[in-house]
A and B are shown apart, each in its own frame.
Chain A
Amino acid sequence: MNTATNATPDSSGVVPFGARAPILSLNNIDKVFGRDVVALKGMSLDIRTGDFISLLGPSGCGKSTALRLIADLIHPTSGSIRWQVEKTPGALSVVFQEPSLMPWATVADNVWLPFRLQGKSRASVADDIAEALELVGLENFHNAYPRELSGGMKMRVSIARALVTHPRIILMDEPFAALDEITRFKLNNDLLELKSKIGCTVVFVTHSVFESVFLSDRIVVMAARPGRVIHELHVNEPYPRSEEFRTSSEYVAHCRATSDALRDAMEEHA
């Protein structure tokens, strides 16, 4: 196995987990809401360059709490969150379950937002905006308003907004949960294509075993009451993964293993 610190793909095209440069680590995080609601207990997680991590678990297992902690929207009760690289503005971006676009702004202006908040004029980042919109296949919709777009297209704008600053980490909180199955499959494929193209690092919260296996190379299975990590599974399948992966025997095996882990998680507190 390649133990060099700089990440180089092995023969199968997968960068081994140990060889990836760390970006951010969570060390033994506890989060207690109010007096006694333990949302998260003893969570540790290293996020490394190029990871596609799924946080999978039942409702109340603290996966969204973990995401909010990483985003620095809430702070841990104990434990620490350390950035291993310099944290610049725009180093982290978030995609929510709803597209959460500004309805009064055009698609391009919505994508401009992260830069606008840094005080950059639209002209100075026009290329970045165009590039991000092209990556999500909306290059012809710069001047459209969100209400003119379908649910899937709105989600693409939301992803473009997250990509535009070239973030080190993209957090996605069940981004496709509200979409229909066909659109979700399409967006899953497109997300993987994006990943191969720009090699982004993603932390992805989901309820779906199938989605987590198809998308990620690390699946962190969590249990509820108190929220905690109980398994971590690796999906050592090379990217880009095609639609055929969905019907392969490897995929089925990974899904079975993940389902078993999830069942463990459900039984932990039952």
Chain B
Amino acid sequence: MTIADPITELPQVDEEEALRARRRRNESIGRWVLPILVITLSIWLWDRIVVWNELPHYILPGPGRVLQALVEDWAILFDSLLVTLQITLGALAIAVAGGVGLAVLFTQSRWIEMSFFPYAVILQVTPVVSIAPLIFIYVDSRLAGLLICAWIVAFFPILSNTTMGLNSADHNLRDLFKVYGASRWQRLRFLQLPSALPYFLGGLRIAGGLSLIGAVVAEYVAGTGGIGSGLAFRILEAGYRLNIPRMFAALFLIAVTGVVIYATLSFISHMALRKWHESAIKREV
């Protein structure tokens, strides 16, 4: 008589677990395959619409035509991309410095916060298109004007998120710092700034996209062309010349830039938080 060894029977995957494993595998494949599939299909559909309706390229160019423009006009477009990128990153850098600096100032003094926070809100809710013409009247340097416009759009999420983060430090830890006689600077450095990091990084991701939008909008308003113009000006210029494929190519570059900025900032955020913050930790089940 033999009795089945219970140990050898144990490692049996039940139906529910098998289903879960299958679903997880499908999901990880789908995450990449589905968007690629949708994009491929849309491009194909776009191409077909153009071909089937015999649309002229100055109304709607096909994807091939846009690609051709991208390659042929690469020299012009790439120079413009660099200009836009320079303004975007410059504005983002100032937004980070200004946003974090103001947030720290606000949390150090309730008086300063009460005095200046309303101005930050006013700056935020006023559409930048409507302030930009004024800025270009009073600021001589075109580059400085563009930077200011992009900064206005980008700094607010950093300011408000970082302020919230600095104030969200564990209240028991605040008490503990007090018990151990920590200085104001120690509390900021060892408690409030680390507590604010996840909030700041969340704001940074929003601000990255916004500074690109700010840069593009400001270029539209500034509108002057010639050497050293960004992608927005190229779009305007191509529009006047009915060079629609180039418009699409420039638009494509702006979109790609936005995605790259977002992906980069998400990656930075993940790397900074991966060891300790809930948002960056993968959970089982």
Contacts and interface: CB of A to CB of B under 8 A. Distances in A.
A102 interface: yes
Given A94-B176, A100-B170, A147 B190 contact: no
A104 B191 CA distance: 10
A117 B277 contact: no
Interface size class of A (residues with CB under 8 A): 20 to 34
A89 B183 CA distance: 13
A147 B281 contact: yes
Contacts of B197: 104
A3 to B, nearest CB: 35
Contacts of A98: 170, 172
Interface string B266-285: 00000000011110010000
A18 interface: no
Given A145-B276, A147-B276, A117 B177 contact: yes
A71 B276 contact: no
Contacts of A114: 180
Contacts of A258: none
A94 B276 contact: no
A146 B278 CA distance: 12
Given A96-B172, A145-B276, A117 B186 contact: yes
Given A103-B277, A104-B276, A118 B180 contact: yes
A47 interface: no
Interface in A54-108: 68, 71-73, 89-90, 92-94, 96, 98, 100, 102-105
Contacts of A96: 172, 175-176
Given A145-B275, A147-B276, A94 B194 contact: no
A117 B173 contact: no
A73 B276 contact: no
Contact of A71 (B170, B175, B191, B194): B175
Main secondary structure of the interface of B (DSSP, over half): helix
Interface in B89-121: none
A102 B194 contact: yes
Nearest to B193: A104
B24 interface: no
Contacts of B177: 117
Contacts of A94: 175-176, 179
Contacts of B181: 89, 117
Contact of B175 (A73, A89, A104): A73
A113 B276 contact: no
Contacts of A234: none
Interface string B142-185: 00000000000000000000000000001011011111111000
A116 interface: yes
Given A90-B180, A113-B180, A117-B186, A102 B191 contact: yes
B10 to A, nearest CB: 26
B276 A92 contact: no
Contact of B179 (A72, A105, A146): A72
30 contacts: A68-B175, A72-B179, A89-B180, A93-B179, A94-B176, A94-B179, A96-B172, A96-B175, A98-B170, A98-B172, A100-B170, A100-B172, A100-B173, A102-B170, A102-B190, A102-B191, A103-B276, A103-B277, A104-B197, A104-B275, A104-B276, A105-B194, A113-B176, A113-B190, A116-B190, A117-B177, A117-B186, A117-B190, A146-B276, A147-B278
A71 B178 CA distance: 9
Given A117-B190, A147-B281, A92 B179 contact: yes
